[in-house]
Chains A and B, each alone.
Chain A
Amino acid sequence: MSTIISDVIDHLAGVQPGSSLDRLRDQRPQARENAQKSYLALFEPELPGHVTAIERYAVATFVAGLHRQPNVTEFYAASLERLGHPRLTDAIRGEIARGSVEGPYGRYPQGPLTIEDKEGSVYQVSTDNRERLGSRLAAALEHAHLLVFHPRDASPAALQRLLDAGWSTTDIVTLSQLVAFLSFQIRVVAGLRVLVGASSRASVDADQTQIFTGVLASGAV
Chain B
Amino acid sequence: MTETTLSHPENREPTAFTQEELGWLPWLEPFPTEQLTERHWAGLVDASRAKSPYFLLLARDPDILQARTKTDKDIFYNTSNGLPRSERELTATATSRSNGCIFCASVHSRFATQYSKRGADVQRLLDEGVEADIDIRWNAIIEASVALTDTPIAFGDEQVGALRAAGLGDPEIVDVINGAAFFNWANRLMLSLGEPTPPAKP
* Nearest Cβ on chain B to A49's Cβ, whole angstroms: 7
List B contacts of A160 (CB < 8 A).
4-5
* Contact assessment for A109 and B177 in the assembled complex, using a CB-CB cutoff below 8 Å: no
* Contact assessment for A29 and B74 in the assembled complex, using a CB-CB cutoff below 8 Å: yes
A156 interface residue, CB < 8 Å from B? yes
* Contact assessment for B64 and A25 in the assembled complex, using a CB-CB cutoff below 8 Å: no
* Contact assessment for B68 and A177 in the assembled complex, using a CB-CB cutoff below 8 Å: yes
* Contact assessment for B16 and A187 in the assembled complex, using a CB-CB cutoff below 8 Å: no
- A218–B148 Cα distance when bound, in Å, is 47
* Nearest Cβ on chain A to B5's Cβ, whole angstroms: 4
List B contacts of A181 (CB < 8 A).
64, 68, 185
Question: What sequence of 0s and 1s flags, for each residue 21-61 of chain A, a beta carbon within 8 Å of any chain B beta carbon?
Answer: 10011011111011101101110011101000000000000
* Contact assessment for B174 and A34 in the assembled complex, using a CB-CB cutoff below 8 Å: no
* Contact assessment for B192 and A176 in the assembled complex, using a CB-CB cutoff below 8 Å: yes
Binds B, one of A78-86, A128-136, A146-154: A146-154
* Contact assessment for B189 and A184 in the assembled complex, using a CB-CB cutoff below 8 Å: no
- A25–B82 Cα distance when bound, in Å, is 11
Picked from B61, B102, B153, the residue with its CB within 8 Å of the CB of A170 is B61
Known interface pairs A159-B28, A186-B153, A191-B148; A151-B71 also in contact (CB < 8 Å): no
List A contacts of B117 (CB < 8 A).
none
Known interface pairs A20-B170, A113-B15, A191-B181; A147-B157 also in contact (CB < 8 Å): no
Picked from B15, B65, B70, the residue with its CB within 8 Å of the CB of A30 is B70
Interface SS of chain B = helix
How big is chain A's contact interface, by range? Answer: 35 or more
* Contact assessment for B64 and A151 in the assembled complex, using a CB-CB cutoff below 8 Å: no
B36 interface residue, CB < 8 Å from A? no
* Nearest Cβ on chain B to A43's Cβ, whole angstroms: 10
- A152–B64 Cα distance when bound, in Å, is 23
- A20–B159 Cα distance when bound, in Å, is 20
Binds A, one of B6-14, B108-116, B134-142: B6-14
A180 interface residue, CB < 8 Å from B? yes
B129 interface residue, CB < 8 Å from A? yes
* Contact assessment for B16 and A177 in the assembled complex, using a CB-CB cutoff below 8 Å: no
* Nearest Cβ on chain B to A150's Cβ, whole angstroms: 9
A-facing residues in B60-100 (Cβ within 8 Å): 60-61, 63-68, 70-71, 73-75, 78, 80-82, 98-100
* Nearest Cβ on chain B to A218's Cβ, whole angstroms: 34
* Contact assessment for A31 and B74 in the assembled complex, using a CB-CB cutoff below 8 Å: yes
- A197–B152 Cα distance when bound, in Å, is 18
* Contact assessment for A179 and B78 in the assembled complex, using a CB-CB cutoff below 8 Å: no
* Nearest Cβ on chain A to B173's Cβ, whole angstroms: 7
List A contacts of B155 (CB < 8 A).
187, 190-191, 194
B19 interface residue, CB < 8 Å from A? no
* Contact assessment for A180 and B185 in the assembled complex, using a CB-CB cutoff below 8 Å: yes
For this complex, 30 residue pairs linking A to B, each with C-beta atoms less than 8 Å apart, are A30-B73, A31-B70, A34-B74, A35-B67, A40-B67, A41-B64, A102-B152, A106-B100, A109-B14, A110-B15, A147-B192, A151-B101, A151-B188, A152-B100, A154-B193, A159-B28, A159-B192, A159-B193, A168-B3, A169-B3, A169-B60, A177-B61, A177-B64, A184-B181, A184-B182, A185-B181, A187-B148, A188-B177, A191-B177, A198-B160
Counting from the closest, the 8 A-B pairs by CB-CB distance are: A111-B15, A191-B177, A30-B74, A152-B100, A187-B181, A154-B192, A31-B74, A184-B185
